[in-house]
Amino acid sequence: MKASVFVGISVDGFMARPDGALDFLPENAEPHGYEEFVATVDALVIGRKTYEVVLGFGVWPYGSKPVYVLSTRALAPPPAGAVMTQLSGTPQEVAAQLEARGVRHAYVDGGITIQGFLRAGLIQRLVVTRVPVLIGAGIPLFGALSSDLALRHVATRHYPSGLVQSEYEVVDALA
C-alpha cells in the first residue's frame, strides 16, 4: 500500500496550534492541488484528535471517501453521509488492515499519525504547503526519528497568496 501526506504548515513548522486549532490556515486559498491529490487516494487515515477537529468544521470535508480514525477510545459519531471506521494498532498493523480492505493509496493526516507512519517507514510521498505565517508554538509536523530519512525533491510550487508547496518522495524508509 502506498501512503502519502498532504499537509499545510506554518513557516515555523507547525501543523496546528497547541490546542489543535487550524485558524492560521487560509480558508479560501487558491487551488493548490488538494482536490487533485484527494482524487488519487482510496481512503484517509487520521488520528482521533484530527477527527475531533474535523468534526468541528460543520461540514465533513471528505465526502464519501472512506476515513479510518485511529483510536482505542470511543469516538463521537460521524456526521450523516460520512464513511468512517475506527481502527487501532501499530502503523504496520493499520497498514496491513487497510491493504486487506483493498486500500491501495492512503492519505495519512494528523501530527501523531504522520509521525508514527514516518517512523515505521510507511510514507512514500510528502506534499508540504508552507503558509506565510509564524505561529510560535503548536503541533509540529515532524517528530523524533531513529535516523535520518532521505527525501528526493520532486517539485516546489509557489502561489500568489504566498503559499509555497514542496513535494518529496521518501528515498530511504526507516527500518
pLDDT single digits (tens) 69-123:
999 999 999 999 999 999 999 999 999 999 999 999 999 999 999 999 999 999 9
pLDDT confidence of residue 20: 87
State the virtual CA torsion across 135, 130, 57, 103 in degrees, nearest 10: -140
Give how far the C-alpha of residue 17 lies from the chain's centroid of Cα atoms, to the nearest Å: 15
Residue 78's identity, in one-letter code, is P
Q: What is the DSSP letter of 110?
A: S
Q: What is the pLDDT of residue 154?
A: 97
**Cα separation of 53 and 55, whole Å?**
5
State residue 14's pLDDT score: 96
Q: Span 133-149, mean pLDDT? A: 92
Tens digit of pLDDT for each residue in 8-58? Answer: 999 999 999 998 889 999 877 788 899 999 999 999 999 999 999 999 888
pLDDT for position 173:
55
- Residue 116's SS3 state is helix
Helices (H), 4-161: 34-39, 48-55, 91-100, 111-119
Specify the CATH class of 2-170 in words. alpha beta
Gap between the Cα atoms of 132 and 125, Å rounded: 23
Confidence of residue 144 (pLDDT cuts 50, 70, 90): confident
* Per-residue pLDDT, 44: 98
Mean pLDDT (whole number) for 51-66? 92
Q: Which residue has the higher pLDDT, 101 or 143?
A: 101
d(CA 44, CA 6): 11
Nearest to 5 by CA among 87, 111, 92, 96: 111
Please, are residues 50 and 107 in contact by the beta-carbon 8 Å criterion? no
To which residue does cell 508552507 refer? 130
